């Protein structure tokens, strides 16, 4: 159906509503009044951090802007959606005033822009994550002076870039990519080929239709010697005609679980030629007389450096996960204040948000949302702190630590995000099955975060590996001077549980919670090391032993590490808020307690196996329910303070005016062909005729 | 895009493939060869139970039938999908030879039909659950002789029915529905009205476009006295013109999270009139002189009886959850045998299904799938057993027990199903984000099971309530003669943990597992009762105390009850298979162990708090990993035995021929406009021009 027809259909149905008159629903406002005062502006500013300005630019620009209205896009075809996203991008991009020069002095400007447009939807930031982060960062990190102009052009959308790493047959295992780039010494060119049917570059964002440039990961072959994966900056479409260049087949991968507005595609190379300068040659080059040279001798370490372009992209995933949690919780919490069901007497039904069970279903996710956001703020801050060090020495310990934390946070945020999304959807009951609730759209987009930019189940191993390797160093007597690992004890003796608390009040104490978290991570570390040792004796080799220690071991260790870091960061955040306002601070402190005690509860087995008493375990559970009650009273105001604007949220259930029922009716009535007779009625009649003979 | 154009586009792209030549991939066949012999036919027959014949009819009919090919439907518009589903229904329905007469002697014939068409997709069974189960069962259970002809007509699709219970403002709380049916003694008619804007019948399947009849739940008002919710059988569209009848506004609710082929709609009544006989009057009637009469005096009990039409529909949800688990596991397991990543040397990568972590991610879901299926088989068997008793006495204990088990199983199956779907999707990595994997389509359909036919979080309470009420009876000294409650001890003393096992071998023992499960459910029961007592002292009233005992209490109790029942049924199933073949039986026994020990592991806190030692807890974890390894070797053959046919599975990744990569490439190349230039290229150029000025 064409957009034009659809608009007419909407218009005509609006003019002739057949529905009952609307009654104003004050439920949401009533709930708002129950909360204590909250300094919303201060909370938002600190919650957004350096992204605050960019978010304000985006919100101002998008408010009542018909180009940014998610609920209007619900019936778009794939082609319409793609056009729309490019329109949106062109419309808003230059407002952020990004440039090569500004980037050098404000290294978070690009990430902040993504955070700003990411409130809307993942499609827009996806286009930008690929182009602005993966593509530009690969050029900046791996290229030399001659490549700078390409970065400049990309900053101004003069080129549109893409990131050709993944192939049909290889994702996580980048070292085994099959695309080849063979150096031709006669012409000083590279010849690119996709030698097998699994080697097509696959699901590459924007390569299907939009991009004219790409950074391509390929096995470099010089004089028949395989030199491992290197990165090349190559044009893929003619700048003027936009036709694929000779030697390239570029196509569309088709329908995805979500993000239909982004053209993920494939690229198949057949003797595609590009001149020598396309090699991003900061860490590896070929001399004019054809000799391969690299400052990094170790192939694995060289590959790790080649992947540096992923760092900011991966952090942006953490940011986006939080945004989805925020959007979904905005919808679910507001609807829970509006939706009433059951009650003591007819006509006085109780809001879902007044039920303990509903509070327990939603509020721990609100706490996790804060944890993810403060974790993201740390990633930004730490990135700026270590940036110049990393540029000097890409093998430095600071980068290894950053990578471990980033890996744990990316994985955890994606899992937290998906669980939150799903719980929000379920908590909205049947109304959550309407697409106009926004919850399924969000789920289908958010889903990608679990497997892209590093599969979460692989990344979490890398966090675990960092801890285990550091522990091994300590056991050899070496010093491990890493802030985030200060919990490491340096011996493998069993970890003793000796945390003392009885009441919920005693549990809600920074010192006690710190002890609990330290016990938690050390207990899992101990279990993992014991298991690794056990496996080492009967496994084929250490790789096998390692693989056999994933479940109930390394995976749990990586998770615990992420939770440990987020707890630390959330507490810092609480203190900033408390220093400004004790009333607002107290509300955020409860969220902190709910997060940490939630971590303890979800992993209670670890504690009880370690020696926590059943009475303490009961206190943990009681404390959570009590905190859920406290946070519930403030939750609408808290989410109001952080929620995106209404046309960006795009939900009939979550609109800030609280008129969920009215909006649901209106949106349904605006459905194309809402009152039309079924065009397939003749089919129904045909079946009837068969049936009549059988009566 | 019209279906016709799409077909042409597919055809032309197939004829001019630009992709590399295809290489046969033997990975899946190689994995198949690793398993022991398996009596696939015997396993399938017993797994399907009475549905076996119907499933075979459906599989035969659908094999290579172009009308049943899910992968062909991926680009259908909403209107096209709806037409397709009606086409499919008319095409296959009469093959099953259902009739009023046959139904009387084969009470599972309808459910078996749903099971058969449900292998394909949820859209088809959704159409039939509503029409064949909810609509017909309401007529049969609540109507009298004069209504029989309507059931007859429905069996032959001469009428197409719907089920108007839910309203915009009320779902779970059926007692508070707002639609009124006022008795007009002058004309002996009922006058139907939707008195408020939240009272529109909402998201009613097939009412949007297709149905000509409905059973409508409305508050009966006789002489200004409210008599509570009653059920009425009314026409909604003119039989010949298909136009809505006077006094009715019928519309389409629009886009949903999935199931777009089903027209869920709304109905708004404005002085709609229907004659007296539309009241389904088995349990309540109005005498010719206008007096209301009912054999069931208690309003709540009367409502419970009115809802009896839901029993079979709810059981069908359990069936469908299992089918989704089966379809998704077919995709995920086969792909895991094909997909290789990392390895000791280049060119010898390891299949995902050979990684312990991957086994741990997928195989416990395979075990749960068996548990859900055997739980469903029990529901069928028990339904037949108690049917005539229930018809005699709708308030009998047998029905209460059936309802409690059904509630627990429906809730658990929906949660198990969604978790399984999501894990399958994630386990397929980036490939799982392609819509052609089938995994997101399945997730978006399956999602509805959690909140329809009774919201799972509400249903699980009803299971918990049944146990608690029975326990209260026992404590008063009354006998509780209920087979499924034989674990009840009758006192509230703390439950002592005294299960003895050390090794995994000792744990994998029916007696030990039985003791563990008994401890488990009693420990949760004890915790729940203590908490309820505690809450009773400081809650407003018992309803409030009850609501405050949901989290960590009643909800867990309901779940444990469902797991207890499914364990019992799965064991029965194992024994049937073992009696026939020891080799096949041993494989299914491992699945049983994996299920039960999985329940123990997921709830380890309960055990450890009760006294299980850390050493035993470690044995539990070790046993699971060991069982995952054993089951993994057989898993492809087991899933092959049960999997639906390929065009019904509709997945590029899960096809039985194992050519996942080839099929992925081919499906992508068949995407409409796969190689066309972006129609929005002018927009890209426009942005470039702006950017150039900023360079």
First to last CA, chain A: 40
pLDDT at B6: 58
Helix orientation angle between A614-642 and A356-392, rounded to the nearest 10 degrees: 80
| Minimum Cα–Cα distance from B20: chain A residue | A197
Q: What's the rounded mean pLDDT across residues A82-105?
A: 96
Q: Where are the alpha helices (DSSP H) in B349-503?
A: 356-392, 397-427, 439-446, 456-475
Residues from chain B contacting residue A543 (CB–CB below 8 Å): 344
pLDDT at B240: 97
Catalytic residue among A119, A453, A508, A563: A453
Question: Residue A541 above 80 pLDDT?
Answer: yes
| Minimum Cα–Cα distance from A23: chain B residue | B197
Inform me whether the C-beta atom of residue B615 falls under 8 Å from chain A C-beta atoms.
no
Picking from A86, A342, A418, the nearest residue to B680 by CB comes out as A86
Inform me whether the C-beta atom of residue A386 falls under 8 Å from chain B C-beta atoms.
no
Question: Residue B666 above 70 pLDDT?
Answer: yes
Question: Residue A632 above 70 pLDDT?
Answer: yes
Q: Which two tokens stand for residue A293?
A: 């040279």
B166 annotated ligand-binding residue:
yes
Q: What's the rounded mean pLDDT across residues B336-344?
A: 90
For residue A481, the distance in angstroms to the closest alpha carbon of chain B comes to 31
Q: Which two tokens stand for residue A332?
A: 């679910």
Question: Residue B234 above 90 pLDDT?
Answer: yes
Digit-coded pLDDT (tens) for B550-581? 999 999 999 999 999 999 999 999 999 999 99
Inter-chain residue contact B435 with A256, CB threshold 8 Å: yes
Picking from A86, A547, A608, the nearest residue to B684 by CB comes out as A86
Which of B668, B673, B675, B677 should we substitute to test contact with A (largest number of A Cβ atoms within 10 Å)?
A: B668
Residues from chain B contacting residue A21 (CB–CB below 8 Å): 197
A205 annotated ligand-binding residue:
yes
Inter-chain residue contact B625 with A552, CB threshold 8 Å: yes
Digit-coded pLDDT (tens) for A376-389? 999 999 999 999 99
Digit-coded pLDDT (tens) for A117-173? 999 889 998 999 999 999 999 999 999 999 999 999 999 999 999 999 999 999 989
- CA gap B689, A99 in Å, rounded: 15
The band of A22, judged by pLDDT with boundaries at 50, 70 and 90, is confident
Inform me whether the C-beta atom of residue B94 falls under 8 Å from chain A C-beta atoms.
yes
The band of A100, judged by pLDDT with boundaries at 50, 70 and 90, is very high
Digit-coded pLDDT (tens) for B476-506? 999 998 999 999 987 777 789 999 999 999 9
- Comparing CA positions, the residue from A86, A207, A214, A204 lying closest to residue A150 is A214
pLDDT at A251: 96
Which has more pLDDT, A120 or A238? A238
pLDDT at B348: 81
Question: Residue B95 above 50 pLDDT?
Answer: yes
Q: Where are the alpha helices (DSSP H) in B265-396?
A: 299-306, 310-338, 356-392
Q: What's the rounded mean pLDDT across residues A595-601?
A: 98
Which has more pLDDT, A538 or A221? A221
Mean pLDDT rounded to a whole number for chain A: 94
Q: What's the rounded mean pLDDT across residues B314-343?
A: 96
Residues from chain A contacting residue B254 (CB–CB below 8 Å): 74, 434-436, 667-668, 670-671, 674
Inform me whether the C-beta atom of residue B288 falls under 8 Å from chain A C-beta atoms.
no
Picking from B254, B341, B422, the nearest residue to A667 by CB comes out as B254
Digit-coded pLDDT (tens) for A30-50? 999 998 999 999 999 999 999
DSSP B431: G
Question: Residue A21 above 90 pLDDT?
Answer: no
The band of B347, judged by pLDDT with boundaries at 50, 70 and 90, is low
Q: Which two tokens stand for residue B240?
A: 């010949």
Digit-coded pLDDT (tens) for A399-454? 999 999 999 999 999 999 999 999 999 999 999 999 999 999 999 999 999 999 99
Please tell me the number of Cα atoms within 13 Å of A331 on its side-chain side: 34
The band of A689, judged by pLDDT with boundaries at 50, 70 and 90, is very high
Question: Residue A370 above 60 pLDDT?
Answer: yes
- CA gap A490, A494 in Å, rounded: 12
Phi, psi (deg, nearest 5) at residue B81: -65, -45
pTM of the prediction? 0.97
pLDDT at A1: 42
Answer yes or no: are the C-beta atoms of A18 and B249 closer than 8 Å. Answer: yes
CB neighbours (10 Å) of residue A383?
Answer: 18
Digit-coded pLDDT (tens) for B124-151? 989 999 999 999 999 999 999 999 999 9
First to last CA, chain B: 40
Question: Residue B9 above 70 pLDDT?
Answer: no
Digit-coded pLDDT (tens) for B626-645? 999 999 999 999 999 999 99
pLDDT at B78: 93
pLDDT at B69: 93
For A278-326, give the DSSP string: GB--SSEEE-TTS-EEES---HHHHHHHHGGGHHHHHHHHHHHHHHHHH
Question: Residue A13 above 60 pLDDT?
Answer: no
Inform me whether the C-beta atom of residue B684 falls under 8 Å from chain A C-beta atoms.
yes
pLDDT at A644: 97
- CA gap A113, A132 in Å, rounded: 10
Q: What's the rounded mean pLDDT across residues A343-367?
A: 90
pLDDT at B541: 86
The band of B158, judged by pLDDT with boundaries at 50, 70 and 90, is very high
Inform me whether the C-beta atom of residue A140 falls under 8 Å from chain B C-beta atoms.
no
Residues of chain B above pLDDT 90, percent:
88
Answer yes or no: are the C-beta atoms of A244 and A269 closer than 8 Å. Answer: no
Which has more pLDDT, A188 or B541? A188
Mean pLDDT rounded to a whole number for chain B: 94
pLDDT at A15: 58
Question: Residue B1 above 70 pLDDT?
Answer: no
Interface of A with B in 322-361 (CB under 8 A): 341-342, 344, 346, 349, 355-357, 360-361
Catalytic residue among B260, B322, B323, B453: B453
Inform me whether the C-beta atom of residue B447 falls under 8 Å from chain A C-beta atoms.
yes
For A86-144, give the DSSP string: HHHHHHHGGGG---HHHHHH-TTHHHHHHHHHTTT-SHHHHHHIIIIIIIHHHHHHH--
Residues of chain B above pLDDT 70, percent:
97
Q: Which two tokens stand for residue B329?
A: 């596991």
Digit-coded pLDDT (tens) for B177-220? 999 999 999 999 999 999 998 999 999 999 999 999 999 999 99
Answer yes or no: are the C-beta atoms of B569 and B380 closer than 8 Å. Answer: no
The band of B299, judged by pLDDT with boundaries at 50, 70 and 90, is confident
- CA gap A679, A229 in Å, rounded: 56
Inform me whether the C-beta atom of residue B168 falls under 8 Å from chain A C-beta atoms.
yes
Inform me whether the C-beta atom of residue B298 falls under 8 Å from chain A C-beta atoms.
no
Residues from chain B contacting residue A83 (CB–CB below 8 Å): 679-680, 683
Residue B349: active-site member: no
């Amino acid at each position: 159906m064409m957009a034009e027809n659809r608009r007419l259909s909407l218009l005509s149905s609006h003019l002739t509503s057949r529905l009952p008159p609307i009654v104003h629903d004050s439920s949401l406002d009533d709930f708002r009044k129950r909360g204590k005062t909250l300094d919303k502006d201060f909370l938002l500013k600190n919650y957004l951090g350096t992204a605050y300005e960019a978010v304000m630019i985006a919100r101002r620009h998008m408010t009542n802007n018909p180009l940014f209205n998610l609920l209007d896009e619900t019936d778009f075809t794939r082609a319409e959606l793609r056009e729309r996203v490019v329109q949106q991008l062109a419309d808003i991009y230059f407002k952020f005033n990004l440039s090569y020069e500004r980037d050098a002095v404000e290294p978070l400007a690009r990430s902040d822009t993504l955070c700003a447009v990411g409130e809307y939807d993942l499609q827009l930031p996806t286009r930008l994550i690929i182009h602005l982060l993966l593509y530009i960062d690969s050029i900046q990190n791996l290229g030399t002076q001659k490549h700078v102009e390409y970065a400049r052009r990309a900053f101004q959308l003069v080129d549109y870039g893409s990131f050709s790493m993944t192939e049909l047959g290889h994702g996580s295992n980048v070292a085994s990519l099959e695309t080849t780039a063979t150096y031709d010494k006669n012409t000083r060119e590279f010849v690119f080929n996709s030698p097998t049917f699994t080697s097509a570059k696959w699901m590459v964002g924007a390569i299907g239709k939009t991009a004219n440039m790409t950074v391509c990961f390929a096995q470099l072959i010089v004089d028949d010697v395989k030199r491992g994966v290197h990165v090349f900056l190559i044009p893929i479409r003619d700048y003027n005609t936009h036709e694929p260049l000779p030697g390239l087949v570029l196509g569309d991968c088709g329908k995805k679980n979500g993000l239909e507005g982004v053209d993920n595609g494939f690229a198949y190379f057949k003797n595609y030629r590009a001149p020598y300068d396309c090699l991003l040659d900061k860490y590896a080059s070929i001399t004019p007389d054809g000799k391969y040279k690299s400052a990094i001798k170790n192939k694995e370490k060289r590959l790790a450096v080649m992947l540096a372009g992923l760092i900011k992209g991966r952090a942006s995933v953490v940011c986006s996960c939080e945004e989805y949690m925020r959007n979904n919780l905005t919808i679910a919490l507001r609807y829970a204040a509006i939706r009433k069901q059951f009650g003591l007497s007819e006509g006085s039904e109780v809001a879902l948000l007044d039920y303990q069970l509903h509070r327990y279903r939603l509020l721990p996710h609100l706490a996790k949302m804060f944890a993810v956001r403060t974790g993201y703020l740390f990633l930004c801050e730490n990135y700026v702190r270590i940036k110049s060090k990393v540029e000097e020495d890409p093998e430095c310990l600071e980068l290894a630590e950053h990578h471990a934390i980033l890996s744990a946070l990316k994985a955890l945020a994606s899992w937290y995000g998906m669980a939150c999304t799903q719980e929000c959807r379920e908590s909205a009951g049947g109304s959550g099955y309407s697409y106009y609730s926004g919850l399924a759209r969000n789920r289908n987009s958010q889903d990608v975060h679990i497997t892209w930019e590093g599969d979460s189940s692989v990344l979490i191993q890398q966090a675990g590996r960092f801890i285990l390797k550091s522990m091994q160093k300590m056991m050899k007597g070496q010093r491990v001077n890493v802030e985030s690992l200060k919990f490491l004890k340096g011996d493998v003796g069993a970890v003793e549980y000796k945390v003392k608390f009885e009441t919920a009040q005693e549990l809600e104490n920074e010192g006690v919670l710190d002890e609990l978290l330290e016990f938690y991570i050390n207990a899992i570390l101990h279990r993992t090391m014991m298991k690794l040792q056990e496996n080492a004796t009967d496994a084929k080799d250490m790789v096998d032993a390692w693989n056999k220690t994933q479940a109930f071991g390394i995976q749990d260790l990586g998770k615990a590490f992420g939770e440990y870091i987020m707890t630390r960061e959330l507490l810092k955040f609480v203190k900033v808020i408390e220093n400004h306002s004790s009333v607002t601070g107290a509300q955020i402190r409860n969220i902190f307690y709910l997060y940490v005690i939630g971590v303890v509860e979800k992993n209670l087995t670890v504690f009880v196996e370690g020696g926590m008493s059943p009475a303490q375990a009961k206190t943990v559970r009681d404390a959570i329910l009590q905190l859920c009650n406290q946070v519930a009273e403030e939750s609408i105001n808290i989410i109001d303070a952080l929620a995106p604007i209404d046309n960006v949220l795009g939900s009939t259930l979550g609109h800030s005016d609280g008129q969920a029922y009215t909006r649901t009716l209106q949106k349904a009535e605006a459905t194309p062909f809402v009152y039309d007779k079924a065009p397939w009625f003749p089919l129904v009649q045909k079946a009837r005729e068969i049936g009549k003979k059988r009566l």
